[in-house]
Amino acid sequence: MKIRFDLSRHLTLAMAAVAISTVLISFVVFYGVYTVAVWCAPQLFPPGFSALPSGWDLAIMGVVTIMGVGLGALIAARIARCIVEPMHAVGGAARKIADGDLSARAASKVKAPGETAMLLEDFNTMAGRLEKAAHDAVSWNAQIAHELRTPLTILKGRLQGVSDGVFIMDDALLRGLLTQVDGLARLVEDLRCVSLADIGRLELRLADVDIYAELQDWVVMMQPSVERFGFSLVLEGAPLRVRVDMERLRQALLALVDNALHYAMPCLLRLRIVSVGAGFAIHLADEGPGVPEDQRADLFRVFTRGDTAREAHRTGSGLGLAVVQAIAQAHGGRAEYKSISGVSEFVICCAG
C-alpha cells in the first residue's frame, strides 16, 4: 500500500509542477513580449499603457493555475491507478506464493496499459510454471517411490524366504534376483539420465564410429530377447560413419525396443539408419496398434503411460521415451513419433 501512495503522490506532484510551470512560463513570456514591444514601439500603444499585470490579470492567472493543477492531479490519479493497481495485484499474488499458495495469480480490476499488462501476463506465466514444477516434483517423488517399491519388495521377500528356509538359493532363484537388480540398475540410470538432461548436464562421450556395424552387433545381441516375446528384429541401411556416444545411443534404442515389446503386437521390428544432411536418423518401426492422437503431445514426457497400458496393468516405468528424447537432444537432435498406414515409427534424429 505504501508503494501505491508514493507513486500516486509523485505523479500528482509532477503533474501539478507541469501545470504551474506552464502557466508561469506563459505569463512571463506574454508580458515579456509586451514589455519589449512597449519599449521598442511605444507609438503602437495608447498613452499611459503599462505592460505590468493588473489585479484582474493576476486573478485570471491564479484561476487558470488552480484549474491546471486540478486537471493535472485528476490525470495523475487516473494514470497512477492504471499503473499501481496491477502492480499491487502482482505484489499480493507474490506474497501468497511466498506463503505457499502456488495457485495464486495476479488479476487487476482496471485495464492495464501495454507494459503493465505484459508484466501481469509474464508474472502469471511464471507462477504457472512454478506451480507445475512443484507439482511435477511431487509427482516425481511418488512415481520414483512406486517404481522402486516393486523390485525392492520382491528382493526382500525372496531373501527373507531364503533366510527362513522357505526358498533354496539355486540358480533359478539367483537369476531371478539378478533380474530384479538389473531392473533397479536400469531404472536408476534412466532417472539419472533424465535428471541430468533437465539441468543441461547430460554429458556425452563422443567417438567416430561406423554406426551400422555397431548396431549390427547390438541387433544380434538383442535377438534372443525379442524372440522370447514373439518379435524379430532386423537392421536396414548401409555403413555410415558418425560422431556419437554409442553407449547412450544403445540406451535409447533399448528403451524403444522395450517400449515395442510392451505395447506393440508381435511383429517384425525394422531398425533403419538414414543419412540426413550433416546428421543421421534411426527409425524403429512396428506394426501397431500405435499411439492415440490425443496422447502424442505428452508421449516423451517423464512418467507418461498410455491409457491402454494403465488399463491393462502392463509393466513399465514411463521413463523410456523420456530417456530417448533426452539422449536425442543431447546429440543436437530430437525424438519423434509418427504413424502411417498402421505402421508406428519412432525416429531419433541426431546432428552426428
Chain-centre distance of CA 51, in angstroms? 71
Q: How confident is the model at residue 50 (pLDDT cuts 50, 70, 90)?
A: low
Percent of the chain clearing pLDDT 90 (strictly above): 19
329 plus 245 within the same structural domain = yes
For residue 177, count CB atoms less than 10 angstroms from its CB and return exposed for 0-12, middle for 13-18, buried for 19 or more.
middle
Name the residue range of residue 104's domain: 2-112
For residue 77, being part of any structural domain is answered with: yes
Last residue of a domain, one of 176, 198, 220: 198
Domains of the chain: total:
3
For residue 125, being part of any structural domain is answered with: no
What pLDDT was estimated at residue 242?
A: 92
186 plus 212 within the same structural domain = no
CATH number, position 145: 1.10.287
- What's the Cα-to-Cα distance from 348 to each of 213, 274, 277, 320, rounded to whole Å? 18, 10, 14, 13
163 plus 221 within the same structural domain = no
CA–CA dist 323, 193 (Å, integer): 7
**What pLDDT digit, counting tens, does each position of 69-94 carry?**
777 777 777 777 777 778 878 888 88
For residue 145, count CB atoms less than 10 angstroms from its CB and return exposed for 0-12, middle for 13-18, buried for 19 or more.
exposed
CATH number, position 308: 3.30.565.10
Q: How confident is the model at residue 293 (pLDDT cuts 50, 70, 90)?
A: confident
244 plus 288 within the same structural domain = yes
What pLDDT was estimated at residue 312?
A: 45
For residue 119, being part of any structural domain is answered with: no
For residue 124, being part of any structural domain is answered with: no
For residue 45, being part of any structural domain is answered with: yes
**What pLDDT digit, counting tens, does each position of 155-189 carry?**
888 888 888 888 888 888 888 888 788 878 877 88
What pLDDT was estimated at residue 199?
A: 80
Least confident segment among 2-6, 82-86, 194-198: 2-6
CA–CA dist 138, 229 (Å, integer): 35
For residue 126, being part of any structural domain is answered with: no
For residue 117, being part of any structural domain is answered with: no
What pLDDT was estimated at residue 307?
A: 52
87 plus 24 within the same structural domain = yes
Least confident segment among 22-36, 211-225, 237-251, 276-290: 22-36
68 plus 182 within the same structural domain = no
H or E element in which residue 179 lies: helix 171-198
192 plus 223 within the same structural domain = no
276 plus 299 within the same structural domain = yes
For residue 118, being part of any structural domain is answered with: no
93 plus 166 within the same structural domain = no
CA–CA dist 95, 89 (Å, integer): 10
Last residue of a domain, one of 163, 198, 233: 198
Last residue of a domain, one of 198, 220, 244: 198
Q: Which three cell numbers stand for residue 166?
A: 522357505
232 plus 297 within the same structural domain = yes
218 plus 274 within the same structural domain = yes
251 plus 230 within the same structural domain = yes
Least confident segment among 142-151, 197-206, 284-293: 142-151
